[in-house]
Structure 1
Amino acid sequence: MKDLTYEKHLTGLLVIDPYNDFISPGGKLWPRVQEVVEATSCVSNMKAVLEAARRANLRIFFALHHRYRARDYETWKYIAPIQREAWEHKTFEDGTWGGEIHPDFLPQPGETVAQEHWCSSGFANTDLDLLLKRHGVHKLVVIGLKANTCVESTVRHAIELGYEVTMVKDATASFSWDEMKASLEINLPSYASAILTAQEIVNKLAKG
């Protein structure tokens, strides 16, 4: 992969689904991601990249999964298995601790929160593409969860829309190592222009 540049007027950090239900002990999905999150230092790496992006004056964008609300799905004619599971477990339930953003990743004034996505892609049926383009952002650095669902779907969609994407491989996690391998070693190399570690992207952003 080529050595990319990260000009602050062109580059944005995209943070995907940093919910308590995912990355906080006690969250509904924590038991399923805990092994990978802890082994990769995912949360601390996500935080390091976010802090580095802020220091470098990159624009910060948040792509958040739809928070469960009562009667969301009851009248749907078709529902995907991933959505049915969210419905059954009330994942990221609105108004609950699990549906809140982890305190280390709360958006700061001036940072942009896109409309919530209903399935996996942060772009599908949201205003994310519009918001990025309105701010002149053409390059994305991507962190967040889950590697094989929302992260991969969002990266693929970004490429279709013409963005250049850098994936931070130890600032994401999945329910299993097989899922991580499928996304980071098999699928995403066909789409992301660079797949870096958190330390590598922190170093690059520090150089300006």
Structure 2
Amino acid sequence: MTTHPYDREITALVVIDPYNDFLSEGGKAWGRLRAVAEANGCVPHILQVLKAAHAAKLRVFYALHHRYRPGDYETWKYIAPVQRLAWTNKAFEYGSWGGEIHPEFVPKLGDIVATEHWCSSGFANTDLDLQLGKHGIEQLIIMGLLAHTCLESTVRFAAELGYGVKVVSDATADYSDKQMYAALEVNIP
């Protein structure tokens, strides 16, 4: 892992969707992610970066996907494929083990949890930008899941808003190497 110097007054770590359904044995998406996540060392790298951020006294923000609740999508006129999948699979179901944050990545006192995003971007229809601005944050270190959806979308939105952005490429995963490559090597750069 490469290290970079950061000004902790203006830099924050953003952790995207570290739910049990993604990162834990028995999670609804773990079976699809497992090979890529294990090959990339995703789970230990997320933990390593999170511990380093806390030790360096960087602010840590969580951008969490909306946790499914019955009635969420039934009356919607248009549903994005990622939302339809969440509805069908009851991914990150509120009140369920899968909808809880992986036990090693639970926010600590002082970490900030933004309002949940409904589709892919941690910024769209959330208070993440407001929270970052209130804390004087200008540079983001971003990690989490999935590389080709929420991570990529959040990175793009952050760049559009004028944040300096670094992605921790070994602290993410996806359903396939092809999707990882497309997100990390083609789209994000």
Answer yes or no: same fold by TM over 0.5. Answer: yes
Q: Distance in 2 between matches of 1:159 and 1:20?
A: 28
Which residue matches 2:32? 32
Measure the CA separation in 2 of the matches of 1:30 and 1:56.
30
**Cα distance in 2, alignment partners of residues 5 and 49 from structure 1:** 14
Aligned partner of 1:95 in structure 2 is: 95
Counterpart check, 1:107 vs 2:104:
no
The AA in structure 2 aligned to 1:119 is: C
Deviant stretches of 4+, over 4 Å: none
Q: Which runs of 5+ in 1 are unaligned?
A: 190-208
Take 1:5 and 1:55, find their aligned partners in 2: how far apart are those partners? 14
1:203 maps to what in 2?
Answer: none
The reply to whether residue 71 of structure 1 matches residue 106 of structure 2 is: no
Unaligned 5+ segments in structure 2 are: none
User: 1:61 and 1:16 mapped to 2: Cα distance?
Assistant: 9
Aligned counterpart, 1:160: 160
**What TM-score do the two structures reach when normalised by structure 2?**
0.97
Query: Which residue of the partner structure matches residue 137 of structure 1?
Result: 137
Q: How far apart in 1 are the matches of 2:18 and 2:34?
A: 14
Note the alpha carbon deviations across 1:87-128, whole angstroms, 9 max, x for none.
001000000000000000000111100000000000000000
% identical equivalent positions = 61
Q: CA RMSD in A?
A: 1.0
Aligned to 1:52: 52
What is the deviation of 1:154? Answer: 0.1
SS of 1:170's equivalent? strand
Aligned to 1:194: none
**In structure 2, how many angstroms separate the alpha carbons of the residues matched to 1:50 and 1:28?**
24
CA distance in 2, matches of 1:5, 1:85: 39
Alpha-carbon shift at residue 81 of structure 1 (Å): 1.1
| Cα deviation digits, residues 8-57 of structure 1 (max 9, x gap) | 10100000000000000100000000000111110000000000000100
1:177-206 alpha-carbon deviations (Å, 9 max, x no partner): 0000001110111xxxxxxxxxxxxxxxxx
Instruction: State the shift of 1:5 in Å.
Output: 3.9
Query: Which letter maps to 2:100?
Result: E
What per-residue deviation string (whole Å, max 9, x for no partner) do you get for residues 113-171 of structure 1?
A: 00000000000000000000000000000110000000000000000000000101110
TM-score normalized by structure 1? 0.89
Residue 82 of structure 1 deviates from its aligned partner by: 1.1
Question: What CA distance in whole angstroms lies between the structure 2 residues aligned with 1:111 and 1:86?
Answer: 26
Separation in 1, partners of 2:82, 2:187: 20
Shift of 1:4: 6.0
Stretch moving more, 77-86 or 16-25: 77-86
SS for the counterpart of 2:38 is: helix
Matched residue of 2:47: which SS? helix
Q: 1: CA distance between counterparts of 2:4 and 2:33?
A: 30
